[in-house]
Amino acid sequence: MSSNQPFIAKIENINSIDDIKEFVNKEIFISIEEMRQDEDAIYWSDLIGCKVVDQNSKVLGEIYKLENHGASDLAFIKTNDEDIIIPLEQQFLGKFELEKNILNVDWE
Domain spans, the chain: 17-105
Which residues lie across from 97 on neighbouring strands? Answer: 102
Q: Regarding the domain delimited by 17-105, which CATH topology (the fold level of the hierarchy) does it fall under?
A: SH3 type barrels. (2.30.30)
Amino acid at residue number 95: K
Category of 15 on φ-ψ map: left (φ > 0), alpha (ψ -120 to 50) or beta: alpha
Amino acid at residue number 79: T
Residue ranges of the chain whose pLDDT lies below 50: 1-2
Q: Can you give the C-alpha Rg of the chain in angstroms?
A: 17
What was the pLDDT predicted at 47? 94
pLDDT, one tens digit per residue, over 64-79 is 999 988 888 999 999 9
Q: What predicted TM-score, i.e. pTM, was given to this entire model?
A: 0.69
What was the pLDDT predicted at 4? 54
